[in-house]
A and B are shown apart, each in its own frame.
Chain A
Amino acid sequence: MNRPHPWILPVLFAASLFPDTACAQVQATAPAGTDAVEGSSVLWLPGTELALRQQTVVDASLLTALVGRDLTALSFRRNGHATALTGGSAHWTVHVAHAPHGPLQASPSFAANAPAPQLVFQGTVPFPASPAPTGPSWSAQDSVRIDFSLPFRYLGGPLVVDITGTPGSAGPTSWPADAVRETVAGSVTNVGDGCGAFGGTNHRWAHALAGTLVAGGTAQFTAWGTPGGLGMACVGSSAIANLYPLAAVLPGAAPGCNVHLVDVLASAAVPFAGPVDPALASLGGMGHFLLSIPNQPFALGATFATQWLDLSQSFATSNAEHWTIAPSTPALGMATVQALASETSGVVDPTLAHVLRFTGN
């Protein structure tokens, strides 16, 4: 009887332990349940309409099928709205990294989310012409696939995909991608009116974006002020309409300009940009005040107030707003960090993320 060669049995044993892993391709789509189901929302891709940087932080629970594998490709799917897309291109630089934290701890700092990024793709990305869809599809005309030039070995844990994109040679194009939005939001209530040149008849030129008042996200507060001028955003514990005239504490302040905040817990100088569009100078220039909301129990349902000053309008006061952080924590399992392509930090949204399909070997 012939006896097997001494190393045959160990090889057969090893093969039985790892069936097919040497060559089988595995795909995982995040958020959960979206591989064959249209996502609830839409989100642009970097470089389609302007130069953007987007990071997506993905929770480990969505990637268990890929642990120990080499990630070799990443795909996006077009949004399902009933419009044909003409297609175009962008230039992308794509990094992938193990993230040091999950999506609810995502940082506005791109570097903090991806401390050891690996370049996996750099080049032109074509966005295909796509007819109005009849349903979610990963076909070539309905998706964008990035094949990695260097595979990324995924060891488990949170993952971050970091894409910087600029429009291609033909210029910006509209290719909105499928995304999922979890409907978790805070709430905002106006208190009193403002004064000055902007904000309509009641001069309500300050506004907190309720959809950004979420634990683990970047709360965004905006105001229309003097284009190119300087404003001040003040945060207090609460507000009462027309608490006292500003002139009572600031001689020379214009009549009709009132303080609504009962106290000031924090304040920040905020520049007002130029008009959103040259024809929109009458709206003023927009100022943004950003506040990271920690993913901590004390933040859930907490209420504060804001009021702005336009220093370039002799301290014109805005309306105030009470704002309340969403009482529950997002459970999407992903977070998107967005900024212009040239910036090193962005705004964190743990309620919105692209539908992403990862391919691993």
Chain B
Amino acid sequence: MSQGPQRGIEGPRMAAPGASIQVLVKDGSTEVEVDLVGGNNPQKFPVAPDGTATVPIPPGSSGQILYVVTRRRPIPSVLRVEIVATP
């Protein structure tokens, strides 16, 4: 499992493709941006009022690292998630 800087965000960091992870966003952001290394297809997901965001793990992905990024000031925050299983 790869762990980047944990600033502003915490939560489970691995899940099977097709499943979801839930992260707790602590920096006040109301949305997170997600991408896979090499995927070059960032997507945005809302943060619920309770600070949690549910991020689906794309089916078929394997061995890649998923990044969850918040864009809000004062500093963007990042969580890296390694997908460890295949469907």
* A interface residues with partner B (beta carbon < 8 Å): 40-44, 49-50, 52, 79, 81, 83, 172, 174, 176, 179, 181, 183, 185, 199-201, 207, 209-212, 218, 220, 222, 276-277, 279-280, 282-283, 286, 288, 290, 336, 338-340, 343, 346-347, 349, 352
Contacts and interface: CB of A to CB of B under 8 A. Distances in A.
B6 A283 contact: no
Contacts of B26: 42-44, 49, 174, 176
A52 B74 contact: yes
B24 A43 contact: no
Nearest to A50: B7
- Interface SS of chain B: helix, strand, loop or mixed? loop
B17 interface: no
Given A42-B24, A201-B40, A349-B28, A212 B4 contact: no
Contacts of B31: 209-211
A40 B4 CA distance: 28
B8 A181 contact: no
B50 A42 contact: yes
Contacts, number: 114
Contact of A185 (B29, B30, B73): B30
Given A42-B24, A183-B49, A276-B78, A283 B42 contact: yes
Contacts of A52: 74
B30 A200 contact: no
B5 interface: yes
Interface of B: 4-8, 10, 24-31, 33, 35, 37, 40-42, 44, 47, 49-52, 65, 67, 69, 71-78, 80
Contacts of A79: 51
Nearest to B73: A347
A207 B28 contact: no
B24 A211 contact: no
A290 B7 contact: no
A42 B28 CA distance: 7
A338 B75 CA distance: 10
